[in-house]
Amino acid sequence: MGNKKWMKTSALMMMAAGLLLAGCSSNNGPQNSGNQANASKEPDTEQLSGHLIVKDPLELTIHMHFSDKFIFDDNWPIFKQAETMTNIKLKGTASKAATNSKELFNTMMASGKIPDLVHHQIKEQYDSLGIEGAFLELDGLIEEHAPNIKKFLSEHPDAAKYMKASNDKTYFLNFTPDGPAAKGWFVRQDWLNKLNLEQPKTVDELYEVLKAFKEKDPNGNGANDEIPYFSRSKLDGIYDLLIQWGVQGGADASKRGFYADNGVVKYGMYEPGYKTAIENIAKWYKEGLIDKEVFTRGPKARDILLGDNVGGMTHDWFASTANFNDILSSKVQGFSFVPMTPPANTDGKILEESSRKGTHASGWGISAESKHPVEAIKYMDFWFSEEGRRLMNFGIEGKHYDLVDGKPKFKDSVLKNTEKTVIQQLQEEGGQIELAFHQDYAYEEQWTNPTALEGINEYVNNGYIMKAYPPVSYTDEERSKFEELNAAVLTFVEEKLQKWVLGAEPINDETFGKYIKQLEDLGIKELLQLEQGAYDRFMK
Ligand code: CA
């Protein structure tokens, strides 16, 4: 071993990450194992019933370890069910003791022992390794053996485009989320009623409402304890406000700042309008309209500030935020936290910048050394069949859901479980796992309350949700340059943002001019040029 190009690449990545190569021999499971006696050269013409892929049981190995916590479990009931249907059993090779998914992936690649199926979360890295020869090019296999994947890709051209590597070939199939909306604005309607106020329709009215929440004691306890605008995300809380002054690109945490303006890639926090936005936000902060602890409050902000009856407004995910009406109805009298129309921004536009991703960087592909590429692609195809998709989205019929009028409906035991959310219950059994499958929003709709659904419908039907910046991909060289420049730029942007909002430095022509100059010194122009190239390639 040791002479393959990708093994060197992976070893270099490990060294760059400061890892020792010594650990490389401990976690290797069986590779390309399984019933080799049954190996794959069975005639493809043989008719098998239902979803059966092979006549005799076949075991394929899989590396799956993602988000530092999801590790393939051979006992997941949902994959056991798939095994019954397809005759293919998956055997996980990733160590359950490992806690760093990225390191483990690099270790596995550098070892040169690559299982049949490999899951990963960084599409570009996977693509580069595919181009170097570590993973199979899937286009031909899909064409010949994967009718469901083929159908999906032809019906979802954006996803198909995203799944292509920089050389226009496909090595990696991605998880495709589903659903119409992400975040929306929520306001204490009972507070508005009490103060005789309407929901704010413009950014000026938004200011007035927050001011009234601050000064007029809407929770009625005689204390000036209201926190008008809060967020459970320290940076999104501020970034999500930028669009109110027409600054785009802030709301997408995975690609902070970037947006396209008539085909030209721009960076919101490098635009002149950013000065006005941040000046106003700093003013709001100073006047106590934004949570004083916005940068440190953390993920429990909603639970704490709504539960204490002091939080007035936030911008957050529809389903989970609307749930507070159910959670707090008996605790906070009259509690009514409802979605509202985004206030028209300073350009007079009603915009919601958050949106669901059309595609996700997680997915899987097939090792170039697999002895069973045809069976592997057929197995990947199974998850795109109607039954496979239902199994991954809803779990097992009779256990997690029943079919009612041909549609899966979760059992009460799942929906009304007070210990675990629906998604937790599914993930513990191997459902809603980010391999390549097409999510079905119907799975989520069933546990989204009417308040949230009403808000989602309003945002969707009125076209408030902006089209997301596309999931461009880079060549290997571009990616390392992008990461280097972007990290430096973003660190500086966020350091300044906090300083300005907190009032630690004034915002004026001089300080803003210096900021712009510093961004240029850090390579923002080069970064935009690089991004433009990737964007143009994606759009062509
Ligand atoms: Ca009060």
Residues 70-122 have pLDDT tens digits of: 999 999 999 999 999 999 999 999 999 999 999 999 999 999 999 999 999 98
Task: Calculate helix-pair angle for 123-131, 5-16, nearest 10 degrees.
Answer: 140
Say what the pLDDT of residue 45 is: 55
Say what the pLDDT of residue 21 is: 41
CB neighbour list of residue 40: distance below 8 Å, 6 or more residues apart: 58, 371, 372, 373, 374, 375
Encoded tokens for 260: 């396209």
Specify the 3-state DSSP secondary structure of 217: coil
- Inform me whether the pLDDT recorded for 137 exceeds 60: yes
Say what the pLDDT of residue 25 is: 40
Query: If you measure from the C-alpha of residue 225 to the centroid of ligand 1, how many angstroms do you get, rounded to a whole number?
Result: 5
Question: How far out from the chain centre does Cα 497 lie?
Answer: 24
- Inform me whether the pLDDT recorded for 39 exceeds 50: no
Specify the 3-state DSSP secondary structure of 305: helix
Q: Identify residue 216 by its one-letter amino acid code.
A: K
How is 356-408 classified by DSSP, letter by letter?
Answer: --SS-S-EEEEBTT-S-HHHHHHHHHHTTSHHHHHHHHH--BTTTEEEETTEE
2-13+54-178+360-427 CATH choice from 3.40.190.10, 3.90.180.10, 2.40.37.10, 2.60.120.380: 3.40.190.10
Query: If you measure from the C-alpha of residue 448 to the centroid of ligand 1, how many angstroms do you get, rounded to a whole number?
Result: 31
Query: If you measure from the C-alpha of residue 11 to the centroid of ligand 1, how many angstroms do you get, rounded to a whole number?
Result: 59
3-state SS record for 453-470: HHHHHHHHHCCCECCCCC
pLDDT, tens only, 191-218: 999 999 999 999 999 999 999 999 999 9
Mean pLDDT of the chain: 92
| Rounded-to-5 percentages of helix, strand, coil across the chain | 45, 15, 40
Query: If you measure from the C-alpha of residue 310 to the centroid of ligand 1, how many angstroms do you get, rounded to a whole number?
Result: 7
Query: If you measure from the C-alpha of residue 309 to the centroid of ligand 1, how many angstroms do you get, rounded to a whole number?
Result: 9
Question: How far out from the chain centre does Cα 446 lie?
Answer: 21
Phi and psi dihedrals of 433, rounded to 5? -95, 140
Q: Rounded CA gap, 219 and 488, in Å? A: 43
Same fold? 2-13+54-178+360-427, 183-340: yes
Query: If you measure from the C-alpha of residue 222 to the centroid of ligand 1, how many angstroms do you get, rounded to a whole number?
Result: 5
- Inform me whether the pLDDT recorded for 234 exceeds 80: yes
CB neighbour list of residue 28: distance below 8 Å, 6 or more residues apart: 93, 108, 111, 113
CB neighbour list of residue 263: distance below 8 Å, 6 or more residues apart: 536, 539
- Inform me whether the pLDDT recorded for 28 exceeds 60: no
- Inform me whether the pLDDT recorded for 66 exceeds 70: yes
For the four alpha carbons of 156, 159, 162 and 165, in that order, the dihedral sign comes to negative
**Domain parsing of the chain, residue ranges:** 2-13+54-178+360-427, 183-340, 476-539
Query: If you measure from the C-alpha of residue 244 to the centroid of ligand 1, how many angstroms do you get, rounded to a whole number?
Result: 27
Query: If you measure from the C-alpha of residue 367 to the centroid of ligand 1, how many angstroms do you get, rounded to a whole number?
Result: 61
Query: If you measure from the C-alpha of residue 500 to the centroid of ligand 1, how many angstroms do you get, rounded to a whole number?
Result: 28
Please report which confidence band the pLDDT of residue 13 belongs to, taking 50, 70 and 90 as the band edges: low
Encoded tokens for 69: 């916590």
- Inform me whether the pLDDT recorded for 517 exceeds 90: yes
| Cα angle 503-506-510, degrees, rounded to a multiple of 5 | 160
Q: Tell if the pTM clears 0.85, that is, is over it.
A: no
Q: Rounded CA gap, 352 and 459, in Å? A: 8
Encoded tokens for 119: 């899951």
Say what the pLDDT of residue 220 is: 97
Query: If you measure from the C-alpha of residue 238 to the centroid of ligand 1, how many angstroms do you get, rounded to a whole number?
Result: 24
Q: Are the C-beta atoms of 502 and 295 separated by less than 8 Å?
A: yes
Q: Identify residue 4 by its one-letter amino acid code.
A: K
Please report which confidence band the pLDDT of residue 18 belongs to, taking 50, 70 and 90 as the band edges: low
Q: Rounded CA gap, 379 and 364, in Å? A: 12
Query: If you measure from the C-alpha of residue 314 to the centroid of ligand 1, how many angstroms do you get, rounded to a whole number?
Result: 18
Query: If you measure from the C-alpha of residue 224 to the centroid of ligand 1, how many angstroms do you get, rounded to a whole number?
Result: 5
Query: If you measure from the C-alpha of residue 213 to the centroid of ligand 1, how many angstroms do you get, rounded to a whole number?
Result: 9
Query: If you measure from the C-alpha of residue 220 to the centroid of ligand 1, how many angstroms do you get, rounded to a whole number?
Result: 5
pLDDT, tens only, 414-462: 998 878 889 999 999 999 999 999 999 999 999 999 999 999 999 999 9
Phi and psi dihedrals of 513, rounded to 5? -60, -40
CB-hemisphere CA count at 13 Å for 528?
20
Q: Mean pLDDT, to the nearest integer, of 505-525?
A: 98
For the four alpha carbons of 266, 270, 276 and 277, in that order, the dihedral sign comes to positive
Query: If you measure from the C-alpha of residue 196 to the centroid of ligand 1, how many angstroms do you get, rounded to a whole number?
Result: 16
Query: If you measure from the C-alpha of residue 219 to the centroid of ligand 1, how many angstroms do you get, rounded to a whole number?
Result: 5
Query: If you measure from the C-alpha of residue 187 to the centroid of ligand 1, how many angstroms do you get, rounded to a whole number?
Result: 16
Q: Rounded CA gap, 90 and 376, in Å? A: 10
Query: If you measure from the C-alpha of residue 429 to the centroid of ligand 1, how many angstroms do you get, rounded to a whole number?
Result: 46
List the alpha helices (DSSP H) in 115-197.
Answer: 123-131, 139-145, 147-155, 157-163, 189-194
183-340 CATH choice from 3.30.390.50, 3.40.190.10, 3.40.50.300, 3.40.309.10: 3.40.190.10
pLDDT, tens only, 444-453: 999 999 999 9
Query: If you measure from the C-alpha of residue 319 to the centroid of ligand 1, how many angstroms do you get, rounded to a whole number?
Result: 27
Query: If you measure from the C-alpha of residue 278 to the centroid of ligand 1, how many angstroms do you get, rounded to a whole number?
Result: 28
CA distances to 114, 156, 523, 529 from 362, rounded to whole Å, are: 18, 17, 29, 26
Closest among 139, 132, 125 to 171, alpha carbons compared: 139
Please report which confidence band the pLDDT of residue 356 belongs to, taking 50, 70 and 90 as the band edges: confident
**Residue 259: in which H helix or E strand, if any?**
strand 258-261
Q: Rounded CA gap, 122 and 99, in Å? A: 17
DSSP state of 416: T
Question: How far out from the chain centre does Cα 345 lie?
Answer: 26
Query: If you measure from the C-alpha of residue 435 to the centroid of ligand 1, how many angstroms do you get, rounded to a whole number?
Result: 48
Say what the pLDDT of residue 158 is: 87
Say what the pLDDT of residue 15 is: 63
Specify the 3-state DSSP secondary structure of 526: helix
- Inform me whether the pLDDT recorded for 38 exceeds 50: no
- Inform me whether the pLDDT recorded for 26 exceeds 50: no
Query: If you measure from the C-alpha of residue 502 to the centroid of ligand 1, how many angstroms do you get, rounded to a whole number?
Result: 23
Query: If you measure from the C-alpha of residue 195 to the centroid of ligand 1, how many angstroms do you get, rounded to a whole number?
Result: 13
Query: If you measure from the C-alpha of residue 465 to the centroid of ligand 1, how many angstroms do you get, rounded to a whole number?
Result: 34
Protein residues within 5 Å, CB atom, of ion ligand 1: 217, 219, 221, 223, 225
Query: If you measure from the C-alpha of residue 79 to the centroid of ligand 1, how many angstroms do you get, rounded to a whole number?
Result: 53
Say what the pLDDT of residue 189 is: 98
Q: Are the C-beta atoms of 226 and 310 separated by less than 8 Å?
A: yes
Q: Mean pLDDT, to the nearest integer, of 150-166?
A: 93
Say what the pLDDT of residue 5 is: 75
- b/e 256-285 (16+ beta carbons within 10 angstroms → b): bbbbbeeeebbbbbbbebbbebbbbbbebb
Q: Rounded CA gap, 130 and 340, in Å? A: 46
Query: If you measure from the C-alpha of residue 328 to the centroid of ligand 1, how many angstroms do you get, rounded to a whole number?
Result: 18
Q: Mean pLDDT, to the nearest integer, of 310-332?
A: 94
Q: What percent of the chain has pLDDT over 90?
A: 80
Query: If you measure from the C-alpha of residue 208 to the centroid of ligand 1, how many angstroms do you get, rounded to a whole number?
Result: 17
Find where tokens 């009298």 sit: 333
Q: Rounded CA gap, 226 and 224, in Å? A: 6
DSSP state of 199: P
Furthest CA-CA distance within the chain: 80
Specify the 3-state DSSP secondary structure of 310: coil
Q: Are the C-beta atoms of 458 and 352 separated by less than 8 Å?
A: no
- Inform me whether the pLDDT recorded for 68 exceeds 70: yes
Q: Are the C-beta atoms of 281 and 501 separated by less than 8 Å?
A: yes
User: 10 Å Cβ neighbour count for 96?
Assistant: 11
Query: If you measure from the C-alpha of residue 312 to the centroid of ligand 1, how many angstroms do you get, rounded to a whole number?
Result: 11
Query: If you measure from the C-alpha of residue 308 to the centroid of ligand 1, how many angstroms do you get, rounded to a whole number?
Result: 11
- Inform me whether the pLDDT recorded for 315 exceeds 70: yes
Please report which confidence band the pLDDT of residue 249 belongs to, taking 50, 70 and 90 as the band edges: very high
Query: If you measure from the C-alpha of residue 306 to the centroid of ligand 1, how many angstroms do you get, rounded to a whole number?
Result: 13
Q: Are the C-beta atoms of 114 and 30 separated by less than 8 Å?
A: no
